[in-house]
């Protein structure tokens, strides 16, 4: 259910700078590197990013520490004491190996050995994991996309009262649009009652349909002013309130 987001890239950049600073200051002890990572990642610069990433600064620092410890226990010299050029070469080599493995897995994977997958949208069942930024709320639900364009809730959870309709639209890429009716009070009064889920449709080589770049949006009503009074306008615009991931069930 993990979705790659921009916040992960920003966190990684800060972690990389922190590690490079530690190397430049000859902080060759693993404990010293870990402390510096914790200090740098705990700054206010990444406060919102960690909220989006589902992990904290200490988690990331521990991940880096585990990676360094693994290098040491495998008989390699401590990465903390390695020249920056060597680290860049190693990182490029690891990245190349990962890309090769991903390509081999894509070619050689037998679809029957995978978990559930959807080969078409009609009658497909999905588990949605949603995260609202404002208000801060995380919730899940399962639903089936019926052939007539309706959505049947299978496991609504405590947040979703009712699912409405789904459709596919083309904005250069194919996008799935799905609307749900959340619990009262979850959305601002100007945002209406419906929450809209939007995701780009991708098809894997094995035929499986996946939903990418899922966003949660609302139709926010604009106000107009006449003399000293404000009135709701007929104009509304979509506003992004959060993100979601979806997996086949």
Domain locations in the chain as residue ranges? 6-108, 125-248
102 has pLDDT over 70: no
Residue 113: pLDDT band (50, 70, 90) is very low
pLDDT at 125: 92
pTM of the model: 0.50
Instruction: Report d(CA 34, CA 18) in Å as an integer.
Output: 10
pLDDT at 104: 53
**What's the average model confidence in pLDDT over 78-93?**
57
Q: Is 140 helix (H, G, I), strand (E, B) or coil?
A: strand
pLDDT at 107: 44
Asked if 128 and 197 count as a contact pair (C-beta separation under 8 A), the reply is yes
Using the structure block, give the residue that is written with the tokens 């226990």.
Answer: 73
Select the more confidently predicted residue: 83 or 112.
83
pLDDT at 145: 93
109 has pLDDT over 50: no
Phi then psi for 58, rounded to 5 degrees?
-70, -30
Instruction: Report d(CA 16, CA 84) in Å as an integer.
Output: 11
């Amino acid at each position: 259910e993990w979705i790659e987001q921009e916040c992960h890239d920003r966190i990684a950049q800060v972690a990389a700078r922190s590690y490079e600073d530690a190397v430049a200051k000859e902080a060759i002890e693993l404990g010293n590197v870990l402390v510096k990572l914790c200090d740098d990642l705990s700054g206010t610069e990444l406060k919102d990013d960690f909220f989006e990433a589902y992990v904290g600064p200490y988690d990331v620092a521990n991940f880096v520490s585990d990676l360094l410890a693994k290098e040491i226990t495998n008989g390699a010299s401590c990465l903390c004491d390695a020249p920056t050029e060597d680290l860049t070469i190693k990182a490029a080599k690891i990245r190349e190996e990962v890309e090769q493995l991903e390509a081999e897995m894509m070619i050689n994977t037998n679809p029957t050995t995978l978990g559930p997958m959807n080969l078409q949208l009609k009658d497909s069942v999905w588990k949605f994991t949603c995260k609202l930024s404002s208000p801060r709320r995380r919730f899940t639900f399962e639903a089936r996309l019926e052939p007539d364009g309706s959505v049947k809730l299978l496991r609504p959870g405590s947040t979703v009262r009712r699912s409405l309709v789904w459709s596919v639209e083309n904005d250069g890429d194919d996008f799935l649009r799905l609307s749900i009716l959340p619990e009262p009070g979850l959305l601002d009064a100007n945002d209406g009652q419906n929450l809209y889920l939007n995701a780009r449709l991708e098809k894997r080589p094995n035929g499986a349909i996946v939903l990418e770049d899922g966003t949660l949006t609302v139709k926010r009503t604009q106000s107009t002013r006449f003399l000293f009074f404000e009135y709701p306008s007929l104009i509304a615009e979509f506003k992004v309130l959060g993100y979601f991931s979806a997996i086949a069930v």
